[in-house]
Homo-oligomer: A and B are copies of this chain.
Amino acid sequence: MRLWHETPAFAGVTGEPGVTRGAEPKGKQMAASSVLKIGLAGLGTVGVGVLDLLAAHGELLEKRTGRRIEVTAVCARSRNKARGGHDISRFQWFDDPVALAREADIDLLVELIGGADGPAKAAVEAALAAGRHVVTANKALLAAHGVGLAEMAERASGALNFEAAVAGGIPIVKTLREGVAGNRVRRVYGILNGTCNYILTTMEREGRDFADVLKEAQELGYAEADPSFDIGGDDAAHKLAILTALAFGVTISAGDIYVEGIEAITLDDIRYADELGYRVKLLGVAVDTGEGIEQRVHPTLVPKGLPIADIKGVFNAVEVRGDFVDDLMLSGRGAGAHPTASAVVADIADVARGIILPPLGRPAATLKPFVKAPMRAHEGGYYVAMSLRDEPGQMAAVARVFADEGISINSIIQKARPADDEDKVAPVILITHETLERAMREAIKRIADEGISVGTPRTIRIERFD
């Protein structure tokens, strides 16, 4: 009850001379609604970015939302660390984020601690239980506990906003929740991890190896010391799980995602793809197949000439296909202190304006249970790179296996064998027409088992974009 009175939708014009609208708040509520008090849990790069933004644009935000937005309490691991020039001694200090969430004089908790469980979850739950709104950038938390937290927020009439959890500064959560509210969404896919996209585009542009570019990305701070969460695809999978729920109105099911990272992508793959008219991107793809939801994160060949193929460096992009709007693409910076702060503050501004919606776009109790579509039924084309023994009849053997499995070949590149190649193997690259995942797996297994190729052929999926 309390939150509602503190955030009237027309707070935006309260006190604006000559403009009165909506239900007049009573005296006491009016005073309460003039400032939106923020508790900030987590003062890492994004937390400092939020402080930067509120310092730079406090007045602008007051004009836009009708309320002053003020950080009043903070919590971080260390009280004495430098925070980008911000004097945090003017904020109420808490050592414990749960205490901040529960006890501080705040209307809204911004959770920037991270992690699916532990203090982040405890603080968010405490805030919602105490009748406070929550804004979070925590994709792991949402992917693991999003539906339960959404139910808590709905019971408490509170906001649980998480624009910054998916694709950084890109307003894709708002777009799915509001912008395409009149659509049944059939598919959503995107470049959801900036580290991977940086590595892949740098490999292509500079003709460098994966390991080499990864090392540089780590030095530049684009990749973590332990990069496996990004390059293995798990980060993108968390984001995809959240997008799936918003897009299709189903429960979040982060466990039901086929995940394949970019670790095995070679510079040769990128060069051959280029020759064949494609770029290699790590995509997260969710499709409502009619028999269930298919969720996958894997390297994908994307035809050059599609806008998503030109998304470079640390940028992210998400494409949504709705049955009325058709294809809609949003792209922008998927990470970084200021772009992420932009999303966090947009979420805060929504609360200041009284925009408080069911977190997953409809009441959590009305979400359909997630039903997984069988992955092996996926239809699409494939890129296949194999090393054939340089003997007569090997290409014929490959062609026979593919024909047996009912797979039709679209194009082939056979590379001349390097002069110094003692193994006598020739690289052959195939692009297949659409085929079933099942058939493809069988063909690859046979080509390896029958000794037609040296080692197991590498495959990369080609996504249908029609």
Chain A contacts to B: CB under 8 angstroms: 1, 3-5, 9-10, 12-13, 16-23, 49, 52-53, 56-57, 60-61, 63-66, 151, 154-157, 163, 169-171, 174-175, 178-184, 249, 305-311, 317, 322-333, 336, 338-339, 341-343, 345-346, 348-350, 353-358, 361-363, 365-366
Contacts and interface: CB of A to CB of B under 8 A. Distances in A.
B53 A16 contact: no
5 nearest CB pairs, A to B: A171-B179, A182-B345, A21-B157, A325-B342, A169-B325
B60 A184 contact: yes
Contact of A331 (B175, B249, B305, B329): B329
Contacts of A306: 310
A167 to B, nearest CB: 10
A256 to B, nearest CB: 23
A19 B155 contact: yes
A361 B16 contact: no
Contact of A357 (B17, B23, B353, B363): B353
Given A9-B354, A10-B4, A366-B16, A182 B342 contact: yes
Contact of A181 (B61, B178, B324): B61
Contact of A63 (B19, B178, B307, B366): B366
A423 B307 CA distance: 43
A306 B332 CA distance: 12
A333 B119 CA distance: 44
Contacts of A175: 171, 174-175, 179
A308 B183 CA distance: 25
What is the total number of copies of this protein in its complex? 2
Contact of A356 (B10, B163, B349): B10
Contacts of A12: 357-358, 362-363
Given A64-B361, A179-B171, A311 B322 contact: no
Contacts of A323: 56, 338
Given A178-B350, A342-B183, A363 B9 contact: no
Contacts of A4: 9-10, 21-23
Contacts of A16: 363, 365-366
B174 A346 contact: no
A324 to B, nearest CB: 4
Contacts of A324: 49, 52-53, 56-57, 169, 338-339, 341-342, 345
B154 A19 contact: yes
B331 A328 contact: yes
Contacts of A1: 22-23
Nearest to A327: B332
26 contacts: A9-B355, A12-B357, A12-B362, A12-B363, A17-B365, A19-B154, A19-B155, A22-B356, A49-B324, A52-B324, A53-B324, A61-B182, A171-B178, A175-B175, A178-B349, A178-B350, A179-B346, A181-B346, A306-B310, A307-B308, A324-B338, A324-B341, A326-B338, A329-B332, A354-B354, A355-B355
B328 A10 contact: no
A355 B357 CA distance: 9
Contacts of A171: 174-175, 178-180, 328
Contacts of A169: 324-326, 328
Nearest to A352: B181
Given A3-B22, A309-B310, A329-B332, 13 more contacts: A1-B23, A4-B21, A4-B22, A13-B154, A16-B366, A17-B365, A19-B151, A19-B154, A57-B183, A171-B179, A174-B174, A178-B349, A307-B308
Contacts of A353: 178, 357
A421 B268 CA distance: 49
A8 to B, nearest CB: 9
A29 to B, nearest CB: 11
Contact of A325 (B5, B326, B332): B332
A325 B338 contact: yes
